[in-house]
Amino acid sequence: MKSWLKWLALSAVMLVAVGGAQAQKGVAFARAEHLRRGLNLSSFYAQTRDLSQARIDAYMSVADMQALKTMGFDHVRLSINPALLIANVKTGTLREGPMAQLDKTVGQLTDAGLNVILDIHADEDWKAPLLHGDDGAANLFAFWAQFAGHYAKSDPERVFFEIMNEPSMDDLYRWEGIQDRAVAVIRRAAPRHTIIATAAGWGHQDGLLALEPVRDDDVIYTFHDYDPMWFTHQGATWSTAAFAFLHGVPYPSTPQNIQAVLSEEPDERVQLELERYGEDRWDAQRVDAEVAAAGKWGEERGVPVYCGEFGAFKEHSDAKMRVAWINDTRTALERHHVGWAMWDYDGNFGLATKGSDGIVVDQDVLRALGMGK
């Protein structure tokens, strides 16, 4: 009789534990619904060394934030360079002035009705120590212990924690170990908040497919989608050198319409890649297949999936083709129940441009995002 009672008690404990885990998973899925249509604020607190109040105020006004909400966006992904916030890298102690500015911005965004992903968008100097040894990981943990603790009192329905933008390492297992520990650190500091995790290999969906979920149920998994990069990154000088001199790469692609670009490309290696791009016939169907793989990964593991970045460099891509690719990618993401944030607000992939009369929104891009008239 005693052994039967022990078994019954153990079963009750197990049911409570399973119920708690399922509840946490339910929270992650419910909060993923707050991240359906977003925009990256790429140069607010990252890609800059200037955190002066004048530059912060000039980057985006409260009226601009409210305009994004009116357009139909429900959230923003706020890029943050942690190096600008840290007073002591070993302890993770935060600088009061920059944190006060960031608090003000987060408050303005949420007051405008926008949910906010705090995206730790470190530069390569800050990420490089993560590749080898223990110091880089220790610094990341120290930062998150302080940063998550700082925002622990914020509304967990409105504010999200993204561990690291595009981990620049190919060692999937090393990053999984670092990320698992980072999740535990954040969870101790901010037990109510949803965490956004990603894969190694720059957060590409290929890395996501090799990732195993962390040991925490209140987590959303993100990937970035710029495929095909021969189209989306043509003319880009900061990525693969071959992209820098490319112009006129078409979308959709066929073996026929790639010929004009091939005839002007002197590098035989690039010629081969462009031929492959044409033969692969990148179109809405192919884009959908890529997104479907990420959606399936989430379904099979019972976790929500989110696309934190997608976009096309606008300087050298045909405007109509760029709009077509954005529409096809956004449509595929929504078809597979994946929330998204376009890259970016007013940068070289941007939705908007800043002029003397204020922000000018590209209405064709807005329509491609399923908004606008």
Q: What phi-psi label fits residue 321: left (phi over 0), alpha (psi between -120 and 50 degrees) or beta? A: alpha
Report strand pairing: 93-94 vs 86-88: antiparallel
Mean pLDDT of 308-315: 96
Mean pLDDT of 103-130: 96
Q: Is 131 buried (19+), middle (13-18) or exposed (0-12) by CB count in 10 A?
A: middle
- For 79, other C-beta atoms within 10 Å of its C-beta total 25
- For 55, other C-beta atoms within 10 Å of its C-beta total 12
What is the number of alpha carbons within 13 Å of residue 354 lying toward its C-beta? 9
Q: Evaluate if residue 1 carries a pLDDT over 60.
A: no
The residue among 113 and 58 whose pLDDT is bigger is 113
Q: What is the pLDDT of residue 23?
A: 55
Mean pLDDT of the residues in the chain? 91
- For 273, other C-beta atoms within 10 Å of its C-beta total 17
CB 237 within 8 A of CB 291: no
Q: Which residues pair with 221 in a beta bridge?
A: 197, 305
User: Rounded to whole angstroms, how far apart are CA atoms 366 and 373?
Assistant: 9
The residues spanned by each domain of the chain are 29-227+283-368, 239-281
CB 271 within 8 A of CB 278: no
The predicted model scores a pTM of 0.92
Q: Evaluate if residue 7 carries a pLDDT over 70.
A: no
Residues counted in the chain? 373
Where does the pLDDT of residue 3 fall: very low under 50, low under 70, confident under 90, or very high at 90 and above?
very low
User: Rounded to whole angstroms, how far apart are CA atoms 222 and 145?
Assistant: 21
Here the tokens at position 150 are 């700082």
Q: Evaluate if residue 27 carries a pLDDT over 90.
A: yes
Considering only CA atoms, give the Rg of the chain.
Answer: 22
Dump pLDDT digits (tens) for 237-284: 887 888 888 999 999 999 999 999 999 999 999 999 999 999 999 999
CB 144 within 8 A of CB 92: yes
Q: What is the largest CA-CA distance in the chain?
A: 85
List Cβ neighbours of 250 (8 Å cut-off, separation of 6 or more).
231, 257, 258, 261, 318, 321
Q: Which residues pair with 95 in a beta bridge?
A: none
> What kind of fold does domain 29-227+283-368 have according to CATH?
TIM Barrel (3.20.20)
Dump pLDDT digits (tens) for 189-240: 999 999 999 999 999 999 999 999 999 999 999 999 999 999 999 998 887 8
Where does the pLDDT of residue 157 fall: very low under 50, low under 70, confident under 90, or very high at 90 and above?
very high
Provide the Cα torsion 94, 96, 99, 100; round to 10°. Answer: 160
Q: Which of 205, 123, 213, 220 is nearest to 165 (CA)?
A: 123
CB 56 within 8 A of CB 109: no
User: Rounded to whole angstroms, how far apart are CA atoms 234 and 242?
Assistant: 9
211-249 burial: b if 16+ Cβ within 10 Å, else e: bebbebbbbbbbbbbbbbbbbbbbbbeeeeebbeebeeb
E strand or H helix at 299, and its extent? helix 284-301
Q: Evaluate if residue 114 carries a pLDDT over 60.
A: yes
* Range name among 57-61, 133-137, 258-262, 306-310 with the lowest pLDDT average: 57-61
